[in-house]
Structure 1
Amino acid sequence: MARKIEVPRGKLIGMNGPGSLYIDTDGISYIVGATDKWYESGVNKNLNKFTINDNRLENLLKVNEFREVPIYKGKSDDREVENSKFTIPISRFPLTHYCSHCHLLGEFKENSSSKLKECKVCKEKKEHIQFPLVIVCEHGHIYDFPYYNYTHSSSEKNPETKHEIFFKKDGSSILNGSLVCSCGASHTLKGVTGKSKEGDKTPTPFQREMKYAKCKGKRPWAGKDVYDEKCNGKPVAILKNALGVYQPELFSVLSLTDKEEKEQLSDYESILIQEFNKLSNETLNSHNDSLNVKLSFNGTQNSIIKKVNSVRRLQELVVQTGFHRLMPSDEEESFIKATDDVNNKKMMFSSNETPIDWYPAKELYGEGIFIEFNEEVLNKWNGFNFVQEYMKKKLNKIANDYHLKDRFSNPINVLIHTLSHGLIKQFSKLSGYSITSISEKLYFYKNKYGLLIYVTDSDKDGTFGGLVRLAEEEKFKQSFNEALKSMEWCSSDPVCREIGRENGQGLYYSNGAACHNCSYLPNTSCSYRNCFLDREFVFILDSDVCIRNYFDWFKEINFHNNKQEHKVKIVKNGEENTYGNWNTLIDLGIATSSYFLNEGYTKPDYLEGIVQIDDYEFTAAYIWKEESRIVLLEEKYQSKEIPSEFFGVINGWEILKNK
Structure 2
Amino acid sequence: MSTHAVGQVRPSQLLWTYGPGALIDLPNLSVITMGLDRWDIDRCPPVEEARLLDAVRRVLGAQVSHLRMPPFLNDEDASPFSAEGKVGVPVRPFPRWLRCVRCGLLSEYDLGLFSIKANPYRPEQTHFVHTNCEKGANADAVPARFLLACRNGHLDDFPWHWFVHAGPSPCIGSLRFFERGASLQTENLWVKCDTCGQSRSLVHAFGREGQDNLPACRGRHPHLDKYDSICEEQPRAVLLGATNSWFPITLSVLAIPLEKNQLSQLILDGWDYFYEVESVDEVKIVVKTLTKANSLPGIDKFPAEEIWLAIQDRKDGNTAEHVSDGDIKGPEWDVLISPNPPTDWPHFLSSEVARPDAYKDALDSVLLLERLREVNALIGYTRVEAPEESADEDERPPMSDLCKGKPNWVPAGEVHGEGIFIRFNEKAISQWESSDAVLLRDQKIELGHRGWRNARGLDPEISYPGIRYTMLHTFSHLLIRELALECGYNAASIRERIYADKDNKMAGVLVYTAAADSDGTLGGLVDLGRPESLGRLIEQALNRAKVCSSDPLCSEHNPNEDRSLHASACHACTFVAETSCERGNRYLDRALLVETFECKDTAFFSKATKNT
TM bin, normalised by shorter chain, reads 0.7 to 0.9
Q: For residues 501 and 450 of structure 1, do their structure 2 counterparts lie closer, same or farther at Cα, with a shift above 3 Å needed?
A: same
Q: How does 1:302-313 map to 2 (within 5 A)?
A: 303-313=361-371
Cross-structure match for 1:207: 211
Q: For residues 423 and 302 of structure 1, do their structure 2 counterparts lie closer, same or farther at Cα, with a shift above 3 Å needed?
A: closer
Aligned equivalents of 1:403, 1:435: Cα separation in 2: 34
Cross-structure match for 1:583: none
Aligned equivalents of 1:68, 1:297: Cα separation in 2: 38
Q: How does 1:179-328 map to 2 (within 5 A)?
A: 179-182=191-194, 183-194=196-207, 205-210=209-214, 213-223=215-225, 226-257=226-257, 258-261=265-268, 263-264=321-322, 268=326, 270-281=327-338, 283-298=340-355, 303-328=361-386
The unaligned stretches of length 5 or more in structure 1 are 195-203, 554-625, 629-659
Q: For residues 141 and 481 of structure 1, do their structure 2 counterparts lie closer, same or farther at Cα, with a shift above 3 Å needed?
A: same
Contact 1:250 1:331 in 2 (8 A): no
Cross-structure match for 1:379: 430
Q: For residues 522 and 539 of structure 1, do their structure 2 counterparts lie closer, same or farther at Cα, with a shift above 3 Å needed?
A: same
In the TM superposition, what is the alpha-carbon distance from 1:520 to its structure 2 partner? 1.4
Cross-structure match for 2:420: 369
Q: For residues 221 and 310 of structure 1, do their structure 2 counterparts lie closer, same or farther at Cα, with a shift above 3 Å needed?
A: same
Cross-structure match for 1:167: 178
In the TM superposition, what is the alpha-carbon distance from 1:431 to its structure 2 partner? 0.7
- Of stretches 391-400 and 56-65 in structure 1, the one that deviates more from structure 2 is 56-65
Aligned equivalents of 1:131, 1:306: Cα separation in 2: 58
> CA-to-partner distance for each residue in 1:271-319, whole Å, 9 max, x for gaps?
2111111122353222211222211213689712111111111111101
In the TM superposition, what is the alpha-carbon distance from 1:14 to its structure 2 partner? 1.3
Cross-structure match for 2:13: 11
Does 2:595 align with 1:540? yes
In the TM superposition, what is the alpha-carbon distance from 1:93 to its structure 2 partner? 1.6
> CA-to-partner distance for each residue in 1:441-494, whole Å, 9 max, x for gaps?
111122211111111222368521111111010111111111111122111111
SS at match of 2:528: helix
Does 2:444 align with 1:393? yes
Contact 1:456 1:462 in 2 (8 A): yes
SS at match of 2:412: strand
Aligned residue among 122, 140, 159 for 1:127:
140
Contact 1:217 1:230 in 2 (8 A): yes
- Matched letter for residue 627 of structure 1: N
Does 2:442 align with 1:442? no
Does 2:529 align with 1:471? yes
SS at match of 1:496: coil
Counting aligned pairs with the same residue, the percent is 25
- Matched letter for residue 241 of structure 2: N
SS at match of 1:322: strand
- Matched letter for residue 424 of structure 2: F
In the TM superposition, what is the alpha-carbon distance from 1:540 to its structure 2 partner? 2.9
Cross-structure match for 1:608: none
Aligned equivalents of 2:321, 2:408: Cα separation in 1: 19
Cross-structure match for 2:290: none
Q: How does 1:510-521 map to 2 (within 5 A)?
A: 510-521=565-576
Larger Rg: 1
Aligned equivalents of 1:501, 1:75: Cα separation in 2: 51
Aligned equivalents of 1:315, 1:403: Cα separation in 2: 35
Contact 1:500 1:514 in 2 (8 A): no
SS at match of 2:473: helix
> CA-to-partner distance for each residue in 1:370-407, whole Å, 9 max, x for gaps?
01011111111111112111221332233244569744
SS at match of 2:556: helix
Contact 2:424 2:508 in 1 (8 A): yes
Cross-structure match for 1:39: 40
In the TM superposition, what is the alpha-carbon distance from 1:219 to its structure 2 partner? 1.7
Aligned equivalents of 1:384, 1:277: Cα separation in 2: 28
Aligned equivalents of 1:140, 1:544: Cα separation in 2: 46
Contact 1:439 1:453 in 2 (8 A): yes
Cross-structure match for 1:598: none
Aligned residue among 559, 564, 569 for 1:509:
564
In the TM superposition, what is the alpha-carbon distance from 1:251 to its structure 2 partner? 1.0
Aligned equivalents of 1:118, 1:478: Cα separation in 2: 66
Instruction: Give the number of aligned pairs.
Output: 522
Q: For residues 253 and 229 of structure 1, do their structure 2 counterparts lie closer, same or farther at Cα, with a shift above 3 Å needed?
A: same
Q: How does 1:411-490 map to 2 (within 5 A)?
A: 411-445=467-501, 446-459=504-517, 463-490=521-548
Q: For residues 490 and 403 of structure 1, do their structure 2 counterparts lie closer, same or farther at Cα, with a shift above 3 Å needed?
A: farther
> CA-to-partner distance for each residue in 1:486-531, whole Å, 9 max, x for gaps?
1221111111222337735xxx411111112222112101111111
- Matched letter for residue 293 of structure 1: S
SS at match of 1:449: strand
Cross-structure match for 2:401: 347
Q: How does 1:569-580 map to 2 (within 5 A)?
A: none
Aligned equivalents of 2:96, 2:14: Cα separation in 1: 22
Cross-structure match for 1:157: 169
Contact 1:138 1:326 in 2 (8 A): yes
- Matched letter for residue 328 of structure 1: A
SS at match of 1:314: strand
From the two aligned structures, give the one with the greater helix fraction.
2
Contact 1:319 1:362 in 2 (8 A): yes
Aligned equivalents of 2:52, 2:387: Cα separation in 1: 22
> CA-to-partner distance for each residue in 1:614-633, whole Å, 9 max, x for gaps?
xxxxxxxxxxxx536xxxxx
Aligned equivalents of 2:460, 2:587: Cα separation in 1: 9
Aligned equivalents of 1:100, 1:83: Cα separation in 2: 35
Does 2:233 align with 1:178? no
Q: CA RMSD in A?
A: 3.1
- Of stretches 414-423 and 172-181 in structure 1, the one that deviates more from structure 2 is 172-181
In the TM superposition, what is the alpha-carbon distance from 1:366 to its structure 2 partner? 0.8
> CA-to-partner distance for each residue in 1:94-147, whole Å, 9 max, x for gaps?
222222223221222599441422355436321223222111111222121111
In the TM superposition, what is the alpha-carbon distance from 1:234 to its structure 2 partner? 2.4
In the TM superposition, what is the alpha-carbon distance from 1:174 to its structure 2 partner? 3.8
Q: For residues 105 and 455 of structure 1, do their structure 2 counterparts lie closer, same or farther at Cα, with a shift above 3 Å needed?
A: same
Q: For residues 172 and 381 of structure 1, do their structure 2 counterparts lie closer, same or farther at Cα, with a shift above 3 Å needed?
A: same
> CA-to-partner distance for each residue in 1:235-268, whole Å, 9 max, x for gaps?
1101111110110111110011324236345565
Cross-structure match for 1:96: 97
Aligned residue among 22, 25, 31 for 1:23:
25
Aligned equivalents of 1:390, 1:437: Cα separation in 2: 32
User: Scaled by the length of structure 1, what TM-score is found?
Assistant: 0.73
In the TM superposition, what is the alpha-carbon distance from 1:51 to its structure 2 partner? 4.8
Q: For residues 403 and 278 of structure 1, do their structure 2 counterparts lie closer, same or farther at Cα, with a shift above 3 Å needed?
A: farther
Aligned equivalents of 2:367, 2:603: Cα separation in 1: 22
Aligned equivalents of 2:4, 2:43: Cα separation in 1: 26
